[in-house]
Amino acid sequence: MAEIPAAAVAASGIVGGYGLARWTRKRPLGGVALAAAGAVAARQWQRSSGTKAAVGLSAAYVAAFAGSHPLAKKVGAWPAVFAVAGGVAVASWAVTRRAGS
């Protein structure tokens, strides 16, 4: 079975975590989804690109989550979530593509 790219896992974790928290009205449940996707992505980043890349991309993942909150005050919740998810996906793609070359 083909592995889902880490970029997609990370972006889905941000979008899915927010969506789950919003629709269930249980923020901790969204946090669990966010953390689970982050752990899967981090493991993939480590395998494909090494520990330094995994640590850096994991930090970007957490920073994107945190950064979505103040951004949401300016552009709205969903646009902020999609923007930071896209940023994490692009960073993941760039780092893992570079490591694969």
pLDDT in tens, 85-101: 999 999 999 999 876 55
Q: Over the stretch 55-76, which tens digit does the pLDDT of each residue have?
A: 999 999 999 999 999 999 999 9
Check: CB of residue 68 under 8 Å from CB of residue 86.
no
* 34-61 core/surface letters (b: 16 or more CB in 10 A; e: else): beebbebbbebbbebbeeebbeebbebb
Q: What's the predicted TM-score (pTM) here?
A: 0.91
Write down the mean pLDDT value for the chain.
95
> Residue 4: phi, psi to the nearest 5?
-70, 130
AA identity, residue 101: S
Q: What is the pLDDT of residue 97?
A: 86
Number of H helices and E strands in the chain, helices first, is 4, 0
- The percentage of the chain sitting over the pLDDT mark of 70, rounded to a whole number, equals 95
